[in-house]
A and B are shown apart, each in its own frame.
Chain A
């Protein structure tokens, strides 16, 4: 990848990172400890994706997800992955999440493992799928 293209990607990554972080930090605490609400991954390792790992299930609120989707409005082709882990019935942890794109939300939440009210959350413009969808 040429340095000019790389510079553009880094600028886009940084701008979106700033938007996501500044918005979410008004609602909760950003960090990698269990006591933090969420963690906006600050590694530029995927050319067109950002990721938010959440501890606090309140961040699955459809209005928050909708706002994050709106943040992508001028970044065509970019995605935000929202990932979480919840206890499953076998005593382990179950990974699941949402993939937010400007035109759709891929809903990979396995609601039978989520407590209420999060189990009832629905996302406008979403379709079922997995992180690979």
Chain B
């Protein structure tokens, strides 16, 4: 009987769903998605064929689509943690997908260096490597403590943050040292320019 249901569903999709139905999706649809749908990269803007199935989009087709992003510049709450100025000891990319208690999420979101003045982005993939290393650190912490994401308390978060700051793992240590060095160098340069 399952094969008939699938055929019926396919017929209904084709009958009732326009291939360009994505044009009627509200711009801030992401706030209405479940966490699993967001993780899967679900994108209702993606065009469908006549059967209602998602179609592939190539770079050529997407060149003009940047326009739709320029018109709608509404801020999304999910980016508010990342936008806080300063280096997050535990990157937002690492903790945003964990099923944390709100107070634990806040503990990570608010743990930053504060605004930085002497930083510039170089070409290395240091952020990727740092994030991966911190992700590994948290996984190891949870394994040792025998806790799930939901069981992680703000106190656990503080202990993780302390481990990150004291880490001798080169991907973590060197990244944080470079941030520190650039700030010190910037302050020395700035102080050197002050008139006597």
| Contact (A71, B121) CB under 8 Å given A26-B62, A42-B92, A43-B82 | no
Verify if A84 is at the interface (C-beta below 8 Å from B): yes
Verify if B91 is at the interface (C-beta below 8 Å from A): yes
Is there contact, CB below 8 Å, between B65 and A26?
yes
Q: CB-nearest residue of chain B relative to A46?
A: B119
Within the assembled complex, what's the spacing in Å between the Cα atoms of A49 and B84?
14
Within the assembled complex, what's the spacing in Å between the Cα atoms of A71 and B124?
23
Within the assembled complex, what's the spacing in Å between the Cα atoms of A42 and B82?
6
Interface residues on B, range: 35 or more
Within the assembled complex, what's the spacing in Å between the Cα atoms of A132 and B43?
37
Within the assembled complex, what's the spacing in Å between the Cα atoms of A46 and B183?
12
Task: Count contacts on A: residues with CB < 8 A to the other chain.
Answer: 52
Verify if A114 is at the interface (C-beta below 8 Å from B): no
Verify if B16 is at the interface (C-beta below 8 Å from A): no
Within the assembled complex, what's the spacing in Å between the Cα atoms of A97 and B121?
11
Within the assembled complex, what's the spacing in Å between the Cα atoms of A131 and B122?
6
Within the assembled complex, what's the spacing in Å between the Cα atoms of A15 and B69?
9
Q: CB-nearest residue of chain A relative to B61?
A: A26
Which B residues are CB-close (under 8 A) to A31? 93
| Contact (A44, B93) CB under 8 Å given A18-B69, A32-B132 | no
Q: Which of A43-100 contact B (CB under 8 A)?
A: 43-47, 49-51, 53, 55, 61, 63-64, 66-67, 70-71, 73-74, 81, 83-85, 95-97
Verify if A123 is at the interface (C-beta below 8 Å from B): no
Within the assembled complex, what's the spacing in Å between the Cα atoms of A83 and B66?
21
Q: Which of B80, B123, B128 has the most CB of A within 10 A?
A: B123
Is there contact, CB below 8 Å, between A17 and B79?
yes
Is there contact, CB below 8 Å, between B125 and A18?
no
